[in-house]
């Protein structure tokens, strides 16, 4: 299988390219992911910032990197990930770490004496009912509706379904957004800037869905996402001019109105343990969290 895919067997590796998307898509069609990190868009867009390497092991895709001499994997993609993790722990002579592990896989590994599994709250995804983000029902969403109502009463706007041409305009807005925040001086923002650039430049090739808000003809907000599995739409990026009250609430709502119908859930990814981000994500009242676990081997 590795020869057919052109992917070397672990521990040999090569870089991830856009041409790898069909291979990932085929693996996800057989075993759809629940955690946002496994969308090919995220693997591809963050490949340079995370220094991802690509290998295969027994017909499974391995995405991994070295951190301070320690090999850190994503959960093996395709086939039975639990058995692959056990094999990886036997092959690697040093200890290993597997991040963003699905809860059911972690449960299979928890009883293995050489492996330790622990919940990674900061990298667990927020999962919302799509109908909640579309309709904003009940008292718990009063504040969100009020922000949107006030914005609409004060400004004329247009929601634009994204095309590659619109994505190029959004790239210009994203650069302005970053310049105002000095992204290049903050590691996390610098890495995100590069990832967002990759998503927008390759919007069509990645099969993304997107939408933008125009005010007076200029883009002031945009959102990017895609189907993660048959029940779930994942939102990868949401940017807005923070000086305009209600704009973040509006682009969130408009994007879900246009793109989340037909899905049961919307995954808005993780908060990375950032207090402000956690507060913002919790304010939309998630239905549940998609647990991400970390599994490590003990020498």
Q: pLDDT per residue over 54-94, tens digit each?
A: 999 989 999 999 998 889 999 999 988 999 998 888 888 77
* CATH number 3.40.630.30 is the correct assignment for the domain at 2-124: yes
Which residues make Cβ contacts (< 8 Å) with residue 17, sequence separation at least 6? none
Q: How confident is the model at residue 5 (pLDDT cuts 50, 70, 90)?
A: low
Cα separation of 190 and 213, whole Å? 24
Q: What is the pLDDT of residue 204?
A: 96
Considering 69-78, 92-101, 197-206, the range whose residues carry the highest mean pLDDT is 197-206
For residue 201, the 8-state DSSP code is H
For residue 102, the 8-state DSSP code is E
pLDDT, average across residues 172-177 = 96
Q: How confident is the model at residue 2 (pLDDT cuts 50, 70, 90)?
A: very low
Q: Token pair of 292, please? A: 């991400």
Rounded to 10 degrees, the C-alpha dihedral 109/112/114/117 comes to 40
* CATH number 3.40.50.970 is the correct assignment for the domain at 126-269: no
- In tens, the pLDDT along 30-59 reads 999 999 999 999 999 999 999 999 999 989
Domain with CATH 3.40.630.30 in the chain: 2-124, 126-269
Cα–Cα distances in angstroms (integers) from residue 292 to residues 36, 39, 103, 125, in the given order: 10, 14, 7, 7
Least confident of 7-21, 76-90, 191-205, 242-256: 76-90
Which residues make Cβ contacts (< 8 Å) with residue 261, sequence separation at least 6? 130, 134
């Amino acid at each position: 299988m590795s020869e057919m895919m052109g992917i070397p067997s672990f521990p040999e590796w090569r870089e991830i390219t856009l041409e790898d998307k069909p291979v990932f898509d085929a693996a996800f069609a057989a075993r759809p992911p629940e955690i946002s990190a496994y969308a090919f868009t995220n693997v591809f867009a963050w490949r340079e910032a995370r220094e991802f390497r690509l290998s295969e092991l027994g017909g499974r895709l391995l995405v991994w990197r070295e951190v301070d001499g320690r090999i850190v994997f994503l959960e093996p993609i395709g086939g039975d990930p639990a058995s692959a993790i056990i094999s990886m722990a036997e092959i690697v002579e040093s200890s290993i770490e597997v991040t963003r592990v699905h809860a059911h896989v972690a449960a299979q590994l928890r009883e293995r004496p050489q492996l330790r599994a622990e919940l990674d709250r900061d990298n667990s995804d927020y999962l919302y009912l799509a109908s909640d983000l579309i309709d904003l029902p009940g008292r718990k969403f009063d504040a969100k509706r009020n922000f949107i109502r006030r914005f609409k009463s004060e400004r004329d706007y247009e929601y634009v379904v994204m095309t590659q041409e619109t994505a190029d305009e959004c790239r210009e807005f994203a650069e302005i957004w970053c310049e105002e925040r000095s992204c290049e001086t903050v590691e996390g923002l610098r890495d995100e800037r590069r990832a967002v650039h990759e998503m927008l430049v390759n919007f069509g090739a990645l099969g993304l869905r997107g939408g933008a808000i125009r005010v007076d003809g200029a883009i002031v907000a945009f959102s990017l996402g895609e189907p993660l599995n048959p029940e779930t739409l994942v939102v990868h990026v949401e940017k807005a001019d923070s000086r305009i009250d209600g704009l973040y609430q509006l682009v969130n709502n408009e994007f879900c109105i246009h793109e989340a119908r037909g899905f049961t859930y919307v995954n808005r990814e993780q908060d990375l343990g950032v207090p402000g981000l956690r507060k913002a994500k919790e304010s939309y009242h998630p239905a549940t969290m998609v647990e991400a676990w970390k599994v490590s081997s003990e020498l």
